[in-house]
């Protein structure tokens, strides 16, 4: 019995050791060589603030639950923004999502003028670039007749269409219904489909947009800068353009109008914090802003630049088989500053060009002496030649500091007749 316990104990220890090493630094392999790493896959929207341009309940107002059958008495309720039990604010879009206890955001009703061409925006600010895999909405009412998903690639950039969902693609968005992208065509274009725009189901319908689905280069994602950019987003916006109806709103019965409104129970954004393969986690910095915890001698919010002294080769995204880590410049210990020099990289395979070489050294790697200097006996530093300008043929001396003198002049520095 004790022996078994010992064996189990050893096993547990081994497992624990392997796992903890994996967790410690996935940005290097067992032998310490840099390898691609990435933060875990998360719902980037969870517990984040979504800003809605319209929400029911201020002042309190009545809405009625759509049954889908005309003439049947609808059950009506109050939406009250001030009442903790009867509000439907945007926090309910990104809270913990359970089947048993559905919470949802809700707009005002058609009675208050909610319908095309008036639209509602739901804006999610991620606070950092993410690589987005999907955007998913779970509707508490019918799915809209028309809505669109937009993204921003940087916080001050323009809104870029991601996907349109509409029962009237051409009329509403001037897009072909169920269009597709052929190989070689623009892979950053948003498509439109009517597949998810039916009025049924009356509740609980999902819509999920996969950022790479139907895009030919998805199979070669590592080598597709176009798609790498396409999946990048710092903000996501959902624009609700037109409600689905049974057509009974034309009679203007208030009870009917009160049964048409938008309601969404969950807004999820699946993806990873974007670190270009150079970090396995994102952390809050001192300003409470989410940033990558960069490895491979990179820095920046997305690990997209080399650290100051690591400019030996150009920055490249890490791929599955090459970490492309930033390499330090070689300045022979004479400088801690360098920049990336494209020309030098082409000629020598090393692009690190040192700046401000110390001890009178010079050259891209501080490998030689400045003009009119020579290397001292220790080889560590360069000393001025100090050739006498009157007596010397040249201001440059030889390796031992001796100057070449004009006829009739002598001395190491050519300063004696």
Ligand X SMILES: *[C@@H]1O[C@H](CO)[C@@H](O)[C@H](O)[C@H]1NC(C)=O
Q: What count of other Cβ atoms lies within 10 Å of the Cβ of residue 344?
A: 17
Among 86, 125, 272, 317, binds ligand X (CB under 6 A): 317
Region near Ca ion per CB under 5 A, out of 21-29, 74-82, 94-102, 215-223 = 94-102
Nearest approach, Cβ of 46 to ligand X (angstroms)? 7
Q: Which residue has the tokens 């940033």?
A: 291
Q: Which pair of structure tokens corresponds to residue 132?
A: 């987005």
Q: Which is nearer to ligand X, 150 or 230 (CB)?
A: 150
- The binder of 334, among Ca ion, ligand X, none, by C-beta within 5 to 8 A per type, is none
Among 90, 93, 273, 326, binds ligand X (CB under 6 A): 326
Nearest approach, Cβ of 415 to ligand X (angstroms)? 53
DSSP, collapsed to helix, strand or coil, labels residue 229 as: helix
Q: Which is nearer to Ca ion, 95 or 299 (CB)?
A: 95
Closest listed residue to residue 125, CA positions, set 72, 64, 49: 49
Q: Which is nearer to Ca ion, 138 or 295 (CB)?
A: 138
Nearest approach, Cβ of 304 to ligand X (angstroms)? 6
Contact assessment for residue 136 and residue 219, using Cβ atoms and an 8 Å cutoff? no
Q: Which residue has the tokens 């001192």?
A: 286
Could you list the beta-strand ranges (E) of 80-190.
105-109, 120-139, 146-152, 160-166
Q: Which is nearer to ligand X, 113 or 201 (CB)?
A: 113
Among 97, 102, 121, 177, binds ligand X (CB under 6 A): 121
Nearest approach, Cβ of 205 to Ca ion (angstroms)? 15
Interaction between residue 103 and Ca ion (CB under 5 A): yes
- The binder of 265, among ligand X, Ca ion, none, by C-beta within 5 to 8 A per type, is Ca ion
Contact assessment for residue 295 and residue 279, using Cβ atoms and an 8 Å cutoff? yes
Q: How many residues belong to the chain?
A: 417
Nearest approach, Cβ of 107 to ligand X (angstroms)? 11
- The binder of 237, among ligand X, Ca ion, none, by C-beta within 5 to 8 A per type, is ligand X
H helix or E strand, kind and range, residue 10: helix 2-24
Region near ligand X per CB under 6 A, out of 64-72, 204-212, 321-329, 380-388 = 321-329
Rounded to whole angstroms, the Cα distance separating 145 from 37 reads 41
Q: Which is nearer to ligand X, 256 or 294 (CB)?
A: 294
Interaction between residue 318 and ligand X (CB under 6 A): yes
Interaction between residue 135 and ligand X (CB under 6 A): no
Cα–Cα distances (Å) from 280 to 38, 171, 292, 324, 412, in that order, read: 4, 45, 8, 16, 61
Half-sphere exposure of 354 (CA within 13 A, CB side): 20
Q: Can you say how many angstroms the Cα of residue 275 is from the centroid of all Cα atoms in its chain?
A: 7
Closest listed residue to residue 199, CA positions, set 143, 115, 240: 143
User: Which residues ranging from 224 to 253 are in contact with ligand X (CB under 6 A)?
Assistant: 237, 239
Nearest approach, Cβ of 197 to ligand X (angstroms)? 20
Q: Which residue has the tokens 């919470």?
A: 103
Interaction between residue 166 and ligand X (CB under 6 A): no
214: left (phi over 0), alpha (psi -120 to 50) or beta: left
Interaction between residue 92 and Ca ion (CB under 5 A): yes
Rounded to whole angstroms, the Cα distance separating 148 from 241 reads 8
Nearest approach, Cβ of 70 to ligand X (angstroms)? 30
Interaction between residue 115 and ligand X (CB under 6 A): no
- The binder of 92, among ligand X, Ca ion, none, by C-beta within 5 to 8 A per type, is Ca ion
Q: Which pair of structure tokens corresponds to residue 189?
A: 């274009």
* Residues of this chain that bind Ca ion (CB under 5 A): 92, 95, 103, 265
* Residues of this chain that bind ligand X (CB under 6 A): 34, 36, 47, 53, 119, 121, 150, 159, 237, 239, 276-278, 296, 298, 303-306, 315-318, 323-326
């Amino acid at each position: 019995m004790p022996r078994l316990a010992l064996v189990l104990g050893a096993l547990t220890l081994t497992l624990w050791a392997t796992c903890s090493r994996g967790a410690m630094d996935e940005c290097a392999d067992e032998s310490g060589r840099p390898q691609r790493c990435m933060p875990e896959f998360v719902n980037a929207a969870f517990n984040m603030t979504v800003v809605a341009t319209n929400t029911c309940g201020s002042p309190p107002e009545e809405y009625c639950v759509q049954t889908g059958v005309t003439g049947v008495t609808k059950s009506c309720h109050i939406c009250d923004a001030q009442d903790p039990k009867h509000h439907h604010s945007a926090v309910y879009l990104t809270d913990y999502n359970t089947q048993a206890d559905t919470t949802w955001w809700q707009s005002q009703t058609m009675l208050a003028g909610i319908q095309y061409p008036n639209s509602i925006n739901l804006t999610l600010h991620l606070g950092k670039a993410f690589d987005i895999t999907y955007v998913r909405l779970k509707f508490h009412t019918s799915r809209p007749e028309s809505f669109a998903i937009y993204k921003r690639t940087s916080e001050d950039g323009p809104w870029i269409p991601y996907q349109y969902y509409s029962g009237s693609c051409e009329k509403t968005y001037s897009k072909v219904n169920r269009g597709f992208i052929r190989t070689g065509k623009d892979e950053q274009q948003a498509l439109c489909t009517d597949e998810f725009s039916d009025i049924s189901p009356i509740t609980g319908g999902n819509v999920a947009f996969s950022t790479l689905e139907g895009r030919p280069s998805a199979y070669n994602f590592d080598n597709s800068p176009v798609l790498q950019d396409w999946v990048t987003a710092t903000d996501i916006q959902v624009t609700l353009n037109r409600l689905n109806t049974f057509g009974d709103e034309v009679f203007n019965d208030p009870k009917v109008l009160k049964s048409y409104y938008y309601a969404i129970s969950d807004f999820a954004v699946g993806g990873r914090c974007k670190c270009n393969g150079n970090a396995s986690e994102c952390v809050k910095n001192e300003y409470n802003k989410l940033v990558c915890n960069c490895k491979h001698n990179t820095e920046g919010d997305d690990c997209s630049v080399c650290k100051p002294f690591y400019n030996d080769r150009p920055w490249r995204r890490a791929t599955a088989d090459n970490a492309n880590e930033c390499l330090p410049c070689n300045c022979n210990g004479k400088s801690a500053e360098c920049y990336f020099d494209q020309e030098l990289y082409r000629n020598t395979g090393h692009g690190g060009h040192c700046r401000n070489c110390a001890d009178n050294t010079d050259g891209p790697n501080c490998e030689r002496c400045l003009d009119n200097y020579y290397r001292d006996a220790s080889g560590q530093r360069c000393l001025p030649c100090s050739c006498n300008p009157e007596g010397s043929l040249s201001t440059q001396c030889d390796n031992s500091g001796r100057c070449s003198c004009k006829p009739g002049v002598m001395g190491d520095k050519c300063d004696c007749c």
